[in-house]
Amino acid sequence: MARCIAAEGGEFGIRANTILPDAILQGSAIWNSNWRNERAAAYGIEPDQLEEHYRKRTTLLVNIYPRDIAEGVAFFASSKSEKTTGCMLTIDGGVPAAFTR
């Protein structure tokens, strides 16, 4: 959808870009819901091991936090990206399964 908006809105100065995050657990209501238990069960681990599981699946061995996503959004909203549209910014710590093909 963002690419369509970028293509159709460009002549009007409308930019549309996308952030592609990985699991953002900190501060999320989903983290304290049954979802946490379901995800842990799906991976065959205990719920308290889930954050470490997500960290270990990244090539940079990092967790993704809300501030990481906010910085990407701030970049797209700033004049630093005024000539960028139809772009995707992946903020996931390097999840190989999600690498662009």
3 Cβ neighbours under 8 A, 6+ residues apart:
16, 86
Q: Is 5 domain-assigned? A: no
**pLDDT tens track for 54-100:** 999 999 999 999 999 999 999 999 999 999 999 999 999 999 988 88
pTM of the model: 0.83
pLDDT of the residue at 27:
78
CA 4 – CA 85 distance, rounded (Å): 10
Cα radius of gyration (the chain): 16
Q: How many domains does the chain have?
A: 1
Q: Is 2 domain-assigned? A: no
Q: Is 23 domain-assigned? A: yes
Question: Tell me, what DSSP letter sits at residue 22?
Answer: -
Supply 55's token pair.
């960290």
Q: Is the pLDDT of residue 25 over 90?
A: no
51 Cβ neighbours under 8 A, 6+ residues apart:
25, 63
100 Cβ neighbours under 8 A, 6+ residues apart:
88, 90
Q: Is 6 domain-assigned? A: no
Q: Print the domain residue range for 54.
A: 18-98
**pLDDT tens track for 28-58:** 787 778 888 999 999 999 998 999 999 999 9
Q: Taking phi first (over 0 means left), then psi (-120 to 50 degrees means alpha), and beta for anything else, what does residue 67 get?
A: alpha
Name the burial class of residue 86, with classes exposed (0-12), middle (13-18) and buried (19+) by CB atoms within 10 angstroms of its CB. Answer: middle
